[in-house]
Structures are given as structure tokens and as C-alpha cells.
Structure 1
Amino acid sequence: MPSFPARLALKDAKLVLDAASDADLAGARATMTHLQAAVDAGRGDDDMAVLFAAVRPN
């Protein structure tokens, strides 16, 4: 069982961006993009560590 599912981390990233719409949060936007890709790939119930797989070099 994941300690924190990627789909919930994605939800939180979206909340951060919505709440701070006037701040420069490029890192949060990049994180959200990678989490969205993981969720879209069917890995939303995996631990948010799937983010590492999305950004590590091959």
C-alpha cells in the first residue's frame, strides 16, 4: 500500500497552484505535470515516488 498515492499528490499540487495563482511556482507546475503523466499512465494509486521515475535520466 502506498504511503501517499500519486493521485492525491496531484490533487494537492493543483490546490497549491489554485491558491497561489499570482506567485511564481514553476516547480509546483512541473511537479504537477509529471504527477499528471503518472496518473494518466495508470499509476495514480502507486506511491508518489513514481515521480522519480518520470524525471530520472534513462
Structure 2
Amino acid sequence: MNGPAQLDVVETLQDRVVITVPDEVTAWMRTVRDLQDAVGVLVVAATVDTSTGKDSS
């Protein structure tokens, strides 16, 4: 999973899931599983307030 197709998938996910995938994360992604793992971590980080550990929604 590299190149323009990878960027298209990441951009679509960012829009639909309302997360930001940092460039350094995109750079190491090689498989769909890598993308799935990264998005899972980012979604959890976006919904948990790291200062209190409480759900921010």
C-alpha cells in the first residue's frame, strides 16, 4: 500500500472519521493492516481526553 492510492485512502478516512493521520504514520504504513492499526489508535486518541482519561464525547 504505497503511492497515490495510499494517499487517497488516508485522505478519505481523515474526512469520514474526522481524524488527522500524521505524515510520519503514513510513511511507515505498508499494508491495510498497518492503516487499520494506525486509524484505531488515532480514533481512540481523538475520543479520550489524555489529561483526565475521560471520554471527551
Same topology, TM > 0.5: no
Indicate the structure whose relative CO is greater, using CA pairs within 8 Å and at least 6 residues apart: 1
TM-score by length of 2: 0.33
